[in-house]
Each structure stands twice: as structure tokens, then as C-alpha cells.
Chain A
Amino acid sequence: SQQGEEDPQALSIQEGENATMNCSYKTSINNLQWYRQNSGRGLVHLILIRSNEREKHSGRLRVTLDTSKKSSSLLITASRAADTASYFCATDHRDNYGQNFVFGPGTRLSVLP
């Protein structure tokens, strides 16, 4: 079942610019996590934000969470070519089948040198 949806599906920016990716979800969550994946290999955890938190920072990353709108955003500032990857949000939530952990479809980010 698809819980999170990312927007945009693909984003292309110049090095040094900021990149913003959005994630929407449907049900109440315990937490929302952002992951990065390079070239179809393993995922790397970026940030976990809990349902009672509104904003978190980690280096050049800023994540916001609006539970009233069931949405989150990931901002990457001063982007670098090495930030080129797919970015996924994932929600920890309870549905009809119990506790579940579902990834959104992802945003493919290309940072051009």
C-alpha cells in the first residue's frame, strides 16, 4: 500500500542551488524518515522526525513536518554534484494490517556541475 508520495518525481538543479522535495502521506504516523539512494544500491538514512516535532536540521539538510497537512519537506542547501541521488520519505504508521513502514515513490535529484 502506498502511504507517502513525493513531489516532484524528478528535480534537476545547478550546483550551489537549494533543492526542496515534498512528501505527503495519508494516515497518522509515529515518525517520518528520509533516505537517500545512489544508483540503485543501499539506502542511507538522513533524518528521522517524530510526529511531535516540526523541524530538524542535520548539516545542509532541513526537514519539516506538518501533521495537520500530512506533509513533510526535505531541503538540501548549497547542493553539490555528490547530492545526485534518489530521495525517499518513509512513514512509520499503523494501518488495518498493524504497524507498517512504507516508502514513497521517491524524487530523483540531479545536481549539475
Chain B
Amino acid sequence: DTEVTQTPKHLVMGMTNKKSLKCEQHMGHRAMYWYKQKAKKPPELMFVYSYEKLSINESVPSRFSPECPNSSLLNLHLHALQPEDSALYLCASSQVGLAGYNEQFFGPGTRLTVL
């Protein structure tokens, strides 16, 4: 299985809602990533988990809360978001590199709209 799956595909939420994005992979990868991508812009790295431990947090606001329950699952909990947080949220996974980042496998993304 060489697929990264993400649910839901689309999410519309109000600024007072709490929701979660989910990501799953069964390739045995021990590094997992969250990216945010605005329209016509490149993906921006938000969080990196390595061996289920948060290794990189790119100064993301606390209204985004990542969680890695096990080596196959990655969640992104959302609370009190702002309309400017509307974007495509991409999950990726990779082998853990001895030095640096390896080839990443991306999911199809969750398109989030905050009203």
C-alpha cells in the first residue's frame, strides 16, 4: 500500500467549531508531516513528527494542534479558526532520513473553508 489517505476531503466550519483532520499511511514510514497550501501558492510546512514525536513546529498558531497517536496516524485538531485559515491541508509521510528529508508521499488533501 503506497497511499496516504486524508479525511475529510472537504470541510466547512465556523470560527467557533472544533474539528479534526485525519491522515493515515501504511507504508511503514516513521515521519509524517502537515502542510498548509493557499491557492496558487506552494505548500508551507506546519509540523513534522518523527517516530511519533513532534520534531518541528513552524511557529504555527495554537489554534492548530497536531497529534500522532501511532506510527500510521496523524491528526490535526482545529479550534477557533479564522477565515484566513481557509486552505488546502496536505499530509505527507516519508522514511526517516539519516540526514535531512527524504522523498515524501502526499495525500490528496483536505480543502478547509472557515466561515
Total contacts A to B, CB within 8 angstroms? 55
Q: Which of B88, B100, B109 contacts A30 (CB 8 A)?
A: B100
**In which size bucket is the chain A interface?**
20 to 34
**In which size bucket is the chain B interface?**
20 to 34
- By a beta-carbon cutoff of 8 Å, the part of chain B in contact with chain A is 4, 37, 39, 41-45, 48, 56, 88, 90, 92, 99-109
Beta-carbon contact of B109 and A41 below 8 Å: yes
Per the bound structure, the CA–CA distance linking A11 and B11 in Å amounts to 33
CB distance from B92 to the nearest CB of A (A): 8
- By a CB distance below 8 angstroms, the chain B residues around A98 are 56
Decide if A31 is an interface residue (CB 8 Å cutoff).
yes
1-39 of chain A: CB within 8 A of chain B: 30-31, 33, 35
Beta-carbon contact of A43 and B103 below 8 Å: no
- By a beta-carbon cutoff of 8 Å, the part of chain A in contact with chain B is 30-31, 33, 35, 40-45, 48, 88, 92, 98-106
Per the bound structure, the CA–CA distance linking A106 and B43 in Å amounts to 10
CB distance from A13 to the nearest CB of B (A): 20
